[in-house]
Amino acid sequence: MNNPLLTSFKTPFESAPFHQIKAHHFIPAIKSTIAIALEEIEAVTHQKETPTFKNTLEALENCGTLIGRNSSLLFNINSAETNEEFQKIAQDAAPLLTRFQNDIRLNKKLFKRINFLYENDIKESLSREQLTLLEKEYKSFVRNGALLNDDEKEKLRVIDSKLAQLSLSFGEHVLADTQAYYLHIENKLDLRGLPDNVIEMARNMAEEKKKKGWLFTLDYPSYVPFMSYAENRALRKKLNGAFSKRGFQKNENNNSAIILKIIKLRQTRAKLLGYKSHAAFVLEERMAQSEKNVKSFLDDLSEKVHPAAKNEWNTMATFAKEHLDIKVLEKWDTTFVAEKLKKATLGLDEQLLKPYFQLEKVLDGLFIIVKKLYGLSFIVNKEVDPYHDEVKVYEVHKEGKFHALLYTDFFPRPGKRNGAWMTSYKSQNISQRPHVSIVCNFSIPTKTQPSLLTFQEVTTLFHEFGHALHGILANTNYSGLSGTSVYWDFVELPSQIMENWCYQPEALALFAKHYETNEVIPRKFIDKIKKAAYFQQGLQTLRQLSFAYLDLSFHDKNAHLIKSVKNHEKRQIESLKFTEDPSDSCMSTAFSHIFQGGYAAGYYSYKWAEVLDADAFELFLEKGIFDKNTAKSFLENVLSKGGTEHPMTLYKRFRGKKPDPLALIRRAGLA
């Protein structure tokens, strides 16, 4: 069979030839490349020479490159361009790949060689990066069962295989419920309050589905504007109800049982490895270090912001009663009322901002900002094969030389999950440059207008681009320490710090230009944007904290006692909310970050990293937002270093001190 996944790609920069790759290629290729990788590992373990860093750890780093590439391709496509065939293949591939990982981590002979290196005094001869790789690999083996007996190892294999499949099923269910629903409106009066471009998008959607009138979906570019502007309260309730029921309906997509299985399996796995809980297992390898420290961090932040959040809620409730005839604020009212209040108090109408944020202009301006900071240039490459016609591919150059490939994918479509993320198709190491991708779900162009972003979408673009920079600018010897291969509560620093440039007049002048006149956004709007940065920061912070508390509670030592996902969720976050959730809604059943993504026992890291980014950006504000020396220091000490050293060591080398926890409070205007 002519299977392109069985060899290296003979393409520009060895980029993936997506149009040659078919779904049926994956399972045969994964099986074949697993066999090759296991042979490579056997060659490492059967050496007669005494273990050295080169013949063991470097050799291990070079094993399984094809399987790593092919599995990345499969799961990235399954997130951005999936269908039933791909979902079935991902389900079939998951246990194969999990078994392969277990075959490595539970390989006695391989661990014996690594253990020899770890316990014998060779550390003096290693570079800082080599020492980090040795410590990381040793811990990875131990934390994945290398010290277990044979029966325990077999139990671990079964658990890991089940978890891999359950996680995939969770994501498939959320996607299925998201795409199964649309709100069909035929009466024009029901569109009152909605901006013209949102109405046009809804009309285009209806035409695509061969329906009369207008269609609104649960994809963010459709859902968020409807909840923000639609005056028909009953329809807001209806759409919010559908959104809140994803994974919680009486159908085959219900995720309640899957969540209970996942949290119990995670806890069983943690105890098998000698930890009190999954959270304890996870946090051992985080900056936060322990559940106690995370809880203390969340409690401290909650105590500081709760009074402000309560005042903000009371202000919103009073405004709703006096100006919008809403006697009791409900869940489906909050976004709508907040938008009205923002307009009334700040004079800021988000719809007046959108013409200044044409996607193409924002992206061009972002490229200029990144060139000023880090010397990168972006050139469209039409020779590299994208996985979808909407995807653009850029060659990234630094100092006149090729540095990376960047894939950009910006609009929602069937088969693409909600949200925004950065991912990698090819990692960086001493012999290769990375291929990274940013995937978003932004406001789509219409027949009369280009893609005009909300300000929140602008910050999302900058956020994901920050993650991309972490990959693009990586400069390490080993893939296992490159780019975003860092402690999870450090990984958000490069992304969140980039959002800060969205609020600076000097940066806005580079990309906030009217899509028709090219007029730079007026200063009065910039002032309002900066004031809006403080708007309802208490409520927004409290919302993020509620997610972090909920996440931690699903993974603490009492997780096995949870009988009802809905009841548990209510108990955990009731004190941090100001509205009652209907009995038929549940946030947890669509909480993909922790049950499909990598944020289990780590959702707190968003706020943790916000402390870092607020503190770090204060240095940029002090020196100048385009100060070359500050940018160079951030590049050399953070962006290029990946996980080569402890993140606090890297941070202090950049900042000259530990982060100030109050920096976040100051930036949020809550000090």
Given this model, what pLDDT does residue 310 score?
A: 96
Q: State the pLDDT at residue 1.
A: 61
Q: Which tens digits make up the pLDDT trace of 312-327?
A: 999 999 999 999 999 9
638 to each of 568, 643, 662, how far by Cα in Å? 39, 9, 22
Q: Report the alpha-carbon distance of residue 478 to residue 489 in Å, rounded.
A: 21
Which residues does the chain have with pLDDT short of 50?
none
Please indicate, yes or no, if residue 141 is contained in any of the structural domains. yes
- Coil/strand/helix, residue 167: helix
Sort 7 into a burial class: Cβ within 10 Å, 0-12 / 13-18 / 19+: exposed
Asked if 239 and 116 sit in the same domain, the reply is no
Sign of CA dihedral 140, 143, 145, 149: positive
Q: Report the pLDDT value the prediction gives residue 357, as an integer from 0 to 100.
A: 98
State whether 407 and 499 are in the same domain. Answer: yes
My answer on whether 524 and 395 are in the same domain is yes
3-state secondary structure 580-603: CCCCCCCCHHHCHHHHCCCCCCCC
Do 192 and 89 belong together in one domain? no
In a domain, 256, yes or no: no
Structural domain of residue 209, as residue ranges?
A: 181-244
Pair 191, 105 in one domain: no
**Which two structure tokens, joined as six digits, stand for 605?**
């890291």
Decide which of 533, 563, 590 is a domain's last residue: 533
Say if 330 falls within a structural domain.
Answer: no
Active site residues: 464
Q: Is residue 571 part of a domain?
A: no
Domains identified in the chain, total number: 3
Q: What is the CATH number of the domain that holds 422?
A: 1.10.1370.40
